[in-house]
Amino acid sequence: MRWLLALALLAPVAAASPTLVGVVPDLPGALPGDEGFAVGCPQACDLSGWAVTDGEGRWSFPNGTQFAAGATVWVAGDAATWATFDGPSALALSAGRMTGEFRLANDGDSLQLLDPSGRAVDAYAWGDKQVAGIDRPIARTSPGLVHTRDRAAGSWVDTDRAADWVTPREHRIGETRLDQPIFQVERITLYASPDSSFAILIDLIGATTERLHLHVYELRSAALVDALVAAKQAHPNLDLQVLVDANPVGQTASERHATADALRRVEAAGGKAWLVGNGRYDDWHQKVLVADDAVAVQSENWVDSGVPQDPSTGNRGWGAILHDRASAEWFAAWMGADRAAWDVAPFDLATFDPLFSGWDRPAAPHTGSYGPTVPATTLVGPFKVTPLIAPDHTADPRRDAVVDLLARATVQVEAQQLDFSITARNTLGWSSPDPLLAGLQAASERGVAVRAQAAAPFAADDTGNAEALEELARFGVATATLERPGLPTLHNKGLLVDDAVLLGSMNGNHHSRSENREVDLLIEGPGAAAYFRALFDGDWRGDESPRDVGAIGRDLRGIPAPLPILFVALAVVLWVRKC
């Protein structure tokens, strides 16, 4: 893509001597000295005799402060109260004198790094403060925000400008830096909402005996909670852990009561329920379940519209189950670390919903006119599966697997998204063309057949995705909104690129990729894209068609490789001829 190439041609100056690389004016909590900063160096450094000043006070590094090339040293008022931001490569020092005259003001201040002679070699300013050594302050301040010097090709950028600190991701204290594994999975189950998601999840939960770890943005489906409770009752030693976002956007009082009832029942059954706020991440928007040695990832919340009991109506969404122990262990490990983080707390009914006095369960499932339904299917691989966890793996367009995937497209791309964006930006001042939109446009320009379908406007005065779809159409992308009986909302976040499928909770905008906790799966292997392409084709047509869109799901069920490969090749040929 042209804009990424332009970024690559820039030649930022890499820091060659000790430099400021992180500043946290306001660490979580209200303890004295709840602030910190970091110094890094591309070469092995000895900071003996070096100091920092905020213009009013001064703090000196102890003699013998040494660290390896590329590492950082973090200094905090009380280093024991927070985890070092840069992982095991970082040192941590407690600045016992980071009080009194030397304090980093939360709303605005400056910091200079002084060499042993007292010369200022680097500086940073935030809020409304100015200081020599940097052209202007970064206006953005927020509790827990980590002002972070950008890195290009692994090196800190140092041009003495505020732009050095404008990053695609607004870093926050305690966020994870997950590795990027690739799993070879022998068996996967593919499903969709409203077609099969409820039955698939009920079966998965019912077969579980050891662990059920659910992290979901919203949990209000009484029937799914019934299944969780029943599993715990059937297996008293089952490890049942449920984490939900404490404040989903637009949550009503009734929905809060339903969530409180769900978490109350989980605890009453002997499970553990957790609430997470917007500390490390803006929204905890993931929809992921670890069930024994399987992992289920989907676009839909655990609510009646997202996982409907009656498949004749509900939101459009995609999901997949990895039947793979290595994947399950990896997911369970970082999910457990998330539950242990500083911004997660045990569910407390009185605090979460003080007006709760019970909840009236809906009398019957909703019904509608959606059809024909596409059954779930279990396929035999092997499949190459890459988990993409936001913001760890997706926040920076310069190092984004989705951008790379779109750049490899050669035949066809289908994008089905709740929303598209034209521009990516954040409150630090960073902006660029949106990576997903730019990738779709670039693929179309290369001659790839690209179709993009978005959710229809939610109200008469809502323009919805019209502007983004118009922008895509200018580059030859075929565009549409979902208009299909029985599907009130396109809530999907799906992408099909040749024989690969990307699905999960991550919306098509930079905020979702850089500020939220999201979970996606990139699945490459025989038949996976063909299954969801059949669903997409039905949605694209918008009504029941003489063509049986469920046939692909049934035909692929249980067929081992290499037959699915032949099937996919034949499907691609027929599709190209049709166009």
User: What single string gives the DSSP state of each residue in 71-130?
Assistant: -EEEEETTGGGS--TTGGG-EEEE-TT-STT----SSSEEEEEE-TTS-EEEEEEETT--
pLDDT tens per residue, range 176-229: 889 999 999 999 999 999 999 999 999 999 999 999 999 999 999 999 999 999
Mean pLDDT to the nearest integer, 499-516: 95
Mean pLDDT to the nearest integer, 115-135: 93
Q: How confident is the model at residue 30 (pLDDT cuts 50, 70, 90)?
A: low
What per-residue confidence (pLDDT) applies to 77? 66
Q: How confident is the model at residue 90 (pLDDT cuts 50, 70, 90)?
A: very low
More confident site: 386 or 576: 386
Mean pLDDT to the nearest integer, 89-103: 56
Residue 241 pLDDT more than 50? Answer: yes
Percent of the chain clearing pLDDT 70 (strictly above): 86
Going by C-alpha positions, the residue among 322, 292, 301, 284 that lies closest to residue 197 is 301
Mean pLDDT to the nearest integer, 57-78: 81
Please tell me the distance from the alpha carbon of residue 564 to that of residue 552, in angstroms, as a whole number.
10
Residues whose CB is less than 8 angstroms from the CB of residue 33 and which lie 6 or more positions away in sequence, other chains included: 76, 77, 78, 95, 98, 99, 103
Q: How confident is the model at residue 14 (pLDDT cuts 50, 70, 90)?
A: low
| Amino acid symbol at 342 | W
Residue 65 pLDDT more than 90? Answer: no
Percent of the chain clearing pLDDT 90 (strictly above): 66
Residues whose CB is less than 8 angstroms from the CB of residue 186 and which lie 6 or more positions away in sequence, other chains included: 323, 324, 380, 381, 382, 383
Residue 121 pLDDT more than 90? Answer: yes
What per-residue confidence (pLDDT) applies to 13? 54
More confident site: 366 or 516: 516
What per-residue confidence (pLDDT) applies to 82? 52
Q: How confident is the model at residue 154 (pLDDT cuts 50, 70, 90)?
A: confident
Mean pLDDT to the nearest integer, 438-445: 96
Residue 564 pLDDT more than 80? Answer: no
| Residue 187, SS3 per DSSP | strand
Length reported for the chain: 579
pTM for this structure? 0.88
What per-residue confidence (pLDDT) applies to 300? 98
Q: Which range among 35-39, 552-556, 563-567 shows the weakest confidence by mean pLDDT?
A: 552-556
What per-residue confidence (pLDDT) applies to 155? 83
Going by C-alpha positions, the residue among 322, 376, 288 that lies closest to residue 188 is 322
Mean pLDDT to the nearest integer, 400-426: 94
In this structure, what token pair is assigned to residue 224? 């799914």
Mean pLDDT to the nearest integer, 133-149: 91
In this structure, what token pair is assigned to residue 179? 């590795």
Whether residue 559 contacts residue 190, with contact meaning beta carbons closer than 8 Å, is answered with no
